[in-house]
């Protein structure tokens, strides 16, 4: 156990004097760290789906985990070089005989966005969903071609 009594220079030679407010703040921080250890993150954080973005020479692939959702629950849109993924996980409860002791499942709306490179053809984007995993394939635009222009005498 740590003491909350501030230490003075006279009692321990060679040690710096610690501010009593700093010591109190450290004790309170340590108390809260011990109290929250072992708890899961906030339920609001679990509404943000996990996402992987990978790239090959020809396409960009976005894979998003959406457990418990179906195709009808997810909306994709492309505007201003930004891909938006939106959805809602709805709670459907008609349980009259159950008393809950702990609820960890989250319900609500979510939204994620991914910036796309300039020149992406929105009509060529394909999306599939299987077993709660959304896979979006975005063809890369063709690289800009440089053209040499001959200069002629006037």
Instruction: Tell me the C-alpha distance between 66 and 37, whole Å.
Output: 27
CB 135 within 8 A of CB 127: yes
CATH number belonging to the domain at 45-92+104-139, selected among 3.90.600.10, 1.25.40.10, 2.60.40.790, 3.40.50.720:
2.60.40.790
pTM for the full predicted model: 0.59
Place of tokens 């760290």: 33
Domain boundaries, the chain: 6-39, 45-92+104-139
Q: Two tokens at 143?
A: 């690289």
CB 19 within 8 A of CB 28: no
Q: Two tokens at 105?
A: 């499942």
Instruction: Tell me the C-alpha distance between 116 and 137, whole Å.
Output: 12
CB 44 within 8 A of CB 120: no
Q: What is the pLDDT along the chain (154 residues), one digit of tens a residue?
A: 555 555 554 545 555 556 777 888 888 887 777 665 655 455 444 567 889 999 998 999 999 998 888 899 899 999 988 999 998 887 766 556 677 666 666 678 888 889 888 888 889 999 999 998 999 999 988 877 888 888 998 8
**CA 17, chain centre distance (Å):** 43
Place of tokens 């959702």: 69
Place of tokens 């849109």: 77
CB 140 within 8 A of CB 121: no
Query: Which of 76, 95, 73, 96 has its CA nearest to residue 85?
Result: 76
Predicted confidence at residue 48, as pLDDT, reads 78
What are the residues whose beta carbons fall under 8 Å from the beta carbon of 63, sequence distance 6 or more? Answer: 51, 52, 53, 54, 133, 134, 135, 136
């Amino acid at each position: 156990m740590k003491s909350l009594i501030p230490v003075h220079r006279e009692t321990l030679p060679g040690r710096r004097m610690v501010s009593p407010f700093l010591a109190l703040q450290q004790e309170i921080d340590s108390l809260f760290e011990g109290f929250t250890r072992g708890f899961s993150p906030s339920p609001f954080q679990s509404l943000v789906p996990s996402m992987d973005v990978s790239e090959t020479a020809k396409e960009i692939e976005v894979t998003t985990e959406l457990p418990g959702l179906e195709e009808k629950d997810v909306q994709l849109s492309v505007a201003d070089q930004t891909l938006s993924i939106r959805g809602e996980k709805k709670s459907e409860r008609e349980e009259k005989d159950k008393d809950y002791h702990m609820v960890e499942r989250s319900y609500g709306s979510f939204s994620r966005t991914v910036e796309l490179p300039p020149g992406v053809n929105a009509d060529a984007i394909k999306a599939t969903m299987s077993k709660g995993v959304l896979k979006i394939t975005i063809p890369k635009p063709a690289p800009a071609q440089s053209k040499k222009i001959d200069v002629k005498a006037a």
